[in-house]
Amino acid sequence: MFPQDTGSPFDDIRQLVATLPGPNEGAREAALARQEQLVKPPGALGRLEAIAAHLSAWQGNSMPTVNRPMVAVFAATHGVAELGVSPYPGAVTKQMMATFTAGKAAVNQICATFDAGLRVFDLALDYPTPDITTNAALDEKACAATMAFGMEAIAGGSDLLCLGEMGIGNTTVAAALCHGLYGGTAEEWVGAGTGAAGEVLDRKIAAVRAAVAFHKDHLSDPLEVLRRLGGREIAAIAGAIIAARHEKVPVVLDGYVVTAAAAVLHAMNPSALDHCLAGHVSAEKAHRQLLDRLGLVPLLDLGMRLGEGSGAALSIGVVKAAVACHRGMATFAEAGVSEG
Ligand SMILES: O=C(O)c1ccc[n+]([C@@H]2O[C@H](COP(=O)([O-])O)[C@@H](O)[C@H]2O)c1
Ligand SMILES: Cc1cc2nc[nH]c2cc1C
């Protein structure tokens, strides 16, 4: 007789999220001590100092690097898009993938500006996940496998990982996830996405309300919320955040959709996002309140609402400058400048 396999496909993920490594406090302290010596009034570089210390702590290196920043964009298609919740047709997701490959999207130009690598991942675009108002998006096995895909996808030598996504309809999915995790009202979590207004916005709010009502008896476990109300790009992003932590790679989150994926991990373990920075706050209505809930203060606030990793990629400039100052500035003693 074969032993019965009674385990759930989520067991390994629960284990990984329960055993996330902490920061290297020695490296953080050494970095902060260096900041005190650099040729500037104490604290005068503001959050740039905290960013350099954050990278020190999570890379485990008092002299952190941003030599190989990578932007990873995960793309997926969503059955709920068929309900008319986005001004754009679902076909745009594949068309934008071709645009990324051709180097002609906004994120390509931002990555080129900062010498960042860009990798785009197609998550079964020809097979939309079922409509979340009447079905779970994923079964347990598929959700766990997609998270594992996200973990594998980011392997390979980057020292800063920026996460992005592409998926028509996925601001509806992100709103449903947040409504499922945090309650409140559907209206509170829904915004314009790519530009929903009038009847499109009304359908979006109704879809988020219906999805959470349909799954209401199964929302106490964050991984169940993810598999029922999420989508493939969101599951892969959650996996990538976990893997980066285990590989000592600090993470930069993009907008509302990426942050919703991160929120699932935060609900499982409140310290799960300690290695993450919020690259920006997007103009999507509920992004700011979601960041507040997660205790994340965005690096940029430029009214962007594009997705595709663009806000996270843009913040690489700030993070690179923070690290350049940390590594390259002289100390007062080296520069022969009098201390105050
Ligand atoms: O993440 C955000 O803050 C964000 C805000 C507005 C739009 N988006 C992008 O727009 C797409 C989803 O919008 P929608 O209206 O189709 O749900 C998807 O490709 C996202 O990358 C993303
Ligand atoms: C054109 C377009 C580009 C995008 N990039 C990310 N999401 C997007 C949605 C649309 C519609």
Q: Left (φ > 0), alpha (ψ -120 to 50) or beta: where does 198 sit?
A: left
For residue 81, the SS3 value is helix
- Distance from residue 306's CA to the centre of ligand 2 (Å): 6
Residue nearest to atom 4 of ligand 2 (CA): 306
**Do residues 146 and 123 make contact, with C-beta atoms less than 8 angstroms apart?**
yes
Residue-level pLDDT at 83: 98
Does position 3 have pLDDT exceeding 60, yes or no?
Answer: no
Residue nearest to atom 5 of ligand 1 (CA): 305
Residue nearest to atom 3 of ligand 2 (CA): 96
Residue-level length of the chain: 340
Task: Find all residues with CB under 8 Å of 99, minimum gap 6, and list them.
Answer: 105
- Distance from residue 167's CA to the centre of ligand 2 (Å): 8
Task: Find all residues with CB under 8 Å of 207, minimum gap 6, and list them.
Answer: 80, 83, 85, 132, 133, 172, 176
> Measuring CA to CA, which residue among 211, 141, 185, 212 is closest to residue 286?
185
**Dist. CA 8–CA 258, nearest whole Å:** 25
**Dist. CA 207–CA 199, nearest whole Å:** 12
Q: Which of 74, 96, 171 to mutate to test the pocket of ligand 2 (most atoms within 8 A of CB)?
A: 96
Percentage of the chain lying above the pLDDT 70 cut: 99
- Ligand 2 pocket, Cβ-based, cut-off 6 angstroms: 88, 92, 96, 166, 194, 306-308
Q: How are the residues of the chain apportioned to helix, strand and coil, as percentages rounded to the nearest 5?
A: 50, 10, 40
**Dist. CA 114–CA 132, nearest whole Å:** 38
HEC letters along 170-218: HHHHHHHHHHHHHCCCHHHHCCCCCCCCHHHHHHHHHHHHHHHHHCHHH
Task: Find all residues with CB under 8 Å of 185, minimum gap 6, and list them.
Answer: 179
**Dist. CA 44–CA 259, nearest whole Å:** 30
- Distance from residue 323's CA to the centre of ligand 1 (Å): 30
> Measuring CA to CA, which residue among 203, 80, 200 is closest to residue 134?
80
Q: Left (φ > 0), alpha (ψ -120 to 50) or beta: where does 239 sit?
A: alpha
- Distance from residue 276's CA to the centre of ligand 2 (Å): 24
Pairing of strands 69-75, 160-166: parallel
Residue-level pLDDT at 157: 85
> Measuring CA to CA, which residue among 334, 181, 197 is closest to residue 268?
181
**Dist. CA 78–CA 323, nearest whole Å:** 39
For residue 163, the SS3 value is strand
Ligand 1 atom at minimal distance to the Cα of residue 167: 19
Residue-level pLDDT at 17: 98
The ligand whose atoms approach the alpha carbon of 254 most closely is 1
- For 62-115, what is each residue's pLDDT tens digit? 999 999 999 999 999 999 999 999 999 999 999 999 999 999 999 999 999 999
- Distance from residue 148's CA to the centre of ligand 2 (Å): 26
Does position 56 have pLDDT exceeding 90, yes or no?
Answer: yes
**Dist. CA 86–CA 214, nearest whole Å:** 21
Q: Which of 88, 163, 304 to mutate to test the pocket of ligand 2 (most atoms within 8 A of CB)?
A: 88
- Distance from residue 232's CA to the centre of ligand 2 (Å): 17
Residue-averaged pLDDT of the chain: 97
> Measuring CA to CA, which residue among 5, 328, 315 is closest to residue 161?
315
Q: Which of 254, 308, 314 to mutate to test the pocket of ligand 2 (most atoms within 8 A of CB)?
A: 308
Ligand 1 atom at minimal distance to the Cα of residue 96: 19
The ligand whose atoms approach the alpha carbon of 260 most closely is 1
- For 119-151, what is each residue's pLDDT tens digit? 999 999 999 999 999 999 999 999 999 999 999
Does position 5 have pLDDT exceeding 80, yes or no?
Answer: no
Residue nearest to atom 8 of ligand 1 (CA): 307
- For 274-311, what is each residue's pLDDT tens digit? 999 999 999 999 999 999 999 999 999 999 999 999 99
Residue-level pLDDT at 2: 56
The ligand whose atoms approach the alpha carbon of 104 most closely is 2
Tokens of 4: 């019965």
Q: Which residues are catalytic?
A: 308
- For 154-212, what is each residue's pLDDT tens digit? 988 899 999 999 999 999 999 999 999 999 999 999 999 999 999 999 999 999 999 99
Ligand 1 atom at minimal distance to the Cα of residue 282: 3
Does position 265 have pLDDT exceeding 90, yes or no?
Answer: yes
Task: Find all residues with CB under 8 Å of 254, minimum gap 6, and list them.
Answer: 162, 163, 164, 165, 279, 280, 282, 307, 308, 309, 310, 311, 312, 313
Q: What is the pTM of this model?
A: 0.98
